[in-house]
Structure 1
Amino acid sequence: MYVVVMGGGRVGLNLASFLIADGHDVTLIENDESLCTNAAAELDALVICGNGTDTKTLEEANVSSADVFVAATGNDEANLLACILVREFKLPKIIARVSEPSHAEAFRKVGIDSVISPEITAASYLEKLIIRPKIADLVVMGKGDAELLDFNLENEKVVGKKVGDISPTEDFIIVAVYENGDITIPKPDIILKKGMKVSILVKTKAAREVMKRFTK
């Protein structure tokens, strides 16, 4: 996956580091020269010292080939303008960090996929939005050591099985299933059906494997 990150501050730099460690290709855009120098020393990635609200800079970052663009600066106006420009490249996903909650609606009105408020701007959360696209919803719990994931069952290996046959384990437990708009706390004999939405409480360290088990 190719991700372009705008913003070389704490959030953007950490996000880029997480993605690179996970095997993704990253380009980071930052207009502050000292932050660029620091990012270039820290990251095994292309670092462009330029303005992410400039189309030429975005083209230099090859944003048209990106799978995801993340506007992660602390400046809402710059993030919004960059997202509007990037939207013209028709990327699959655009994510924006919003420092002032009252500005969030402006981002949503221009069609930004995900708007992240100050309370959830941890780089690790942003990474989850990028690398777990099949998850319908995600809540980080406690100190980040557990997550509540919502997604639709797709893996034929679990479809048709009883909840009690696969849950609970040391790493996860199915806490709810949804059918016809109704939520049920599942009994062990509930049959898992293809497309059924489930909520799973999972240890963060096991989240990726659990997602694969149920969605692939």
Structure 2
Amino acid sequence: MYIVIVGAGDIGTPLIEMATHGGNEVVVVEKNASKAETAANEFDCLVINDDATSKEVLEDAGVDRADALISTTDHDATNIMVCLLGKELAVPDIVSVVHNPEHMGIFRRIGVNTMENPQRLIAEYLYRGVKRPSVVDFMRVGEEAEVFEIRVGQEAPIAGMTMQDATEEGLLAEDVLIVAVEREGEEKPITPRGGTKALPGDTLTVYSGRGATPEVTDVFGHYEDHADEPASIADTSEE
């Protein structure tokens, strides 16, 4: 793929690394001279030290023939302008970071795929690490739903039960679905069926329509704090 990445900062740099190591043809546009020089020295890609809000600069970067344009700057106004120019130049796939949740609607109206404020997502991840230590990893889906990984405890209500029995006994609610089972000794994750058992020590990938609430995680043997939690960090608006 031919990918144009705008910004070589904290977000752009690891993206450049992944894109170049993935064998893509990458062009980076970075306004800051020092960051541009660092990217040019570290990665096998063309780096343009200029302002990406200029149509001419993006044309120099080959945006008009790019497969994707990704804007990662710290300023939503810059990202919006880059995306608008990308649309004008008919880039097939345009993705942008969005720092202020209030601006999400603007990006959607433009028709851009978005990644909400990564700093806030990191903060939520760290908070979860303290509040829900049983959750190994998680990803938000929509407003409330989450996909998360969790280990089955020795004394978990679901331990030793089949998926069908756990559902019939009400341990797995209608909005909870176990989509994969990782088990010691198995080379690949198990795709669970009705007769698949959840054994102590298994790591389960779980979809929950209401998120990884204590009521959901209790089923897997992790009896954590049931106190009311503040609104999700990722769902609150910046001041």
Counterpart residue number, 1:39: 39
Determine the structure 1 residue equivalent to 2:97.
97
- Shift of the 172–64 alpha-carbon distance from structure 1 to 2, 3 Å rule, reads farther
Partner of 1:134: none
SS at match of 2:82: helix
Query: What secondary structure is seen at the aligned counterpart in 1 of 2:11?
Result: helix
Aligned pair count?
Answer: 150
2:16 equivalent to 1:16: yes
Corresponding letter in the other structure for 1:2: Y
Gaps of 5+ in 2: 123-132, 142-179, 197-203, 207-239
Distance of 1:187 and 1:115 partners within structure 2: 36
- Structure 1, unaligned runs of 5 or more: 122-141, 151-166, 176-185, 190-199, 203-216
Q: Which moved more, 1:46-55 or 1:99-108?
A: 99-108
1:11, CA displacement in angstroms?
0.9
Matched, 1:187 2:166: no
Give the equivalent residue in structure 2 for 1:83: 83
- Whether the aligned pair in 2 keeps the contact of 1:172 and 1:201 (CA below 8 Å) is no
- Provide the rounded CA distance (Å) in 2 between the counterparts of 1:11 and 1:38: 14
Q: Which residue is equivalent to 1:58?
A: 58
How far apart in 2 are the matches of 1:10 and 1:47? 16
User: Aligned pair in 2 of structure 1 residues 120, 4: CA closer, same or farther (>3 Å)?
Assistant: farther
Are 2:98 and 2:114, in contact at CA under 8 Å, matched by a contact in 1? no
Contact 2:72/2:97, CA 8 A, preserved across alignment:
yes
Supply the distance in 1 between the matched residues of 2:205 and 2:91 (Cα, whole angstroms): 31
Give the structure-1-normalised TM-score.
Answer: 0.59
Deviation of 1:201 after TM superposition, in Å, equals 3.8
Of all paired residues, the percent bearing the same amino acid is 29
* CA drift at 1:3: 1.1
Deviation at 1:89, TM superposition (A): 2.2
2:73 equivalent in structure 1:
73
Highest CA radius of gyration, 1 or 2? 2
Measure how far apart 1:113 and its partner are: 2.3
Runs of 4 or more, structure 1, over 6 Å off, are none
Q: Which secondary structure does the structure 1 equivalent of 2:28 belong to?
A: strand
* Two-structure CA RMSD over aligned residues (Å): 3.4
Q: Which amino acid aligns with 2:49?
A: C
- Deviation of 1:58 after TM superposition, in Å, equals 0.5
Structure-2 residue corresponding to 1:114: 114
